[in-house]
Amino acid sequence: MKAIILFGHGARDARWREPFDRLAVMWQEQHPKTLVELAFLEMMQPSLEQAISGLVKQGANEAVVVPVFFGQGGHLRNDFPLLLQACQEKFPELKLSTTSAVGEDAAVLQAIVDFGARAL
Amino acid sequence: MKAIILFGHGARDARWREPFDRLAVMWQEQHPKTLVELAFLEMMQPSLEQAISGLVKQGANEAVVVPVFFGQGGHLRNDFPLLLQACQEKFPELKLSTTSAVGEDAAVLQAIVDFGARAL
């Protein structure tokens, strides 16, 4: 079974995660056959490892990790590949892959431009 | 003259800003009559104050600040309103307003869901 992991930075304020919770709900409604989990780099639960562990228990054998970040700085270029590799070694039964950050996607950027245009 | 300020967190790695630079280019191409500036909360230039100063010099009398953040945590709930107020007091000739974070927008979230779906 395939799964998607929406991977965010995390923050101290619990309300920070609201858009991530909304993303997971939208995903479940629109793609009910694909498991979805959130995961956070720091300050929020679950961690990537916890999310993967939960997916393995649900029967997933393949997961795509989508970094819900705008820019690709030190977190995504340095911390994330190491974290992903450690998780892959810990859960060899699940095939992990990843995408670029969502901020690299032209349609995501266009939606931001359109949001700004509506506010003017 | 109206202006839009795309306001991001900032990061140590200069490459982090690439999607922001792309956003500014897209804005200029699609909305050439509205001035656009980037601004960053920390670790990157220009600051919000520097961006506003530049816009005032270009003749702007109104600017909408769009927080290009996913979640609304401490930075947007606490730091940002104070920063905005300080900038408004420093530049009374320019009317400042703001939007919610782009991560609150359903179309932005939908673009992220669609990006994930294409990766599966």
Task: State the 10-residue block means of pLDDT for chain B, 120 residues long.
Answer: 97 96 98 98 97 97 98 93 97 97 98 97
Flag whether residue A2 sits within 8 Å of chain B, measured between CB atoms: yes
Cα–Cα distance, B18 to A72 (Å, whole number) = 8
Q: What is the pLDDT of residue A21?
A: 98
Catalytic: A9? yes
Enter the pTM of the model. 0.96
Flag whether residue B13 sits within 8 Å of chain A, measured between CB atoms: yes
Q: What is the pLDDT of residue A86?
A: 98
Strand extents, DSSP E, chain A: 2-8, 35-40, 62-67, 95-98
Beta-bridged to residue A96, according to DSSP, are: A63
Q: Search chain B and give the residue with CA nearest A113.
A: B27
Q: Search chain B and give the residue with CA nearest A15.
A: B73
Task: Give all domains of chain A, ordered by start, each with its CATH number.
Answer: 2-119 (3.40.50.1400)
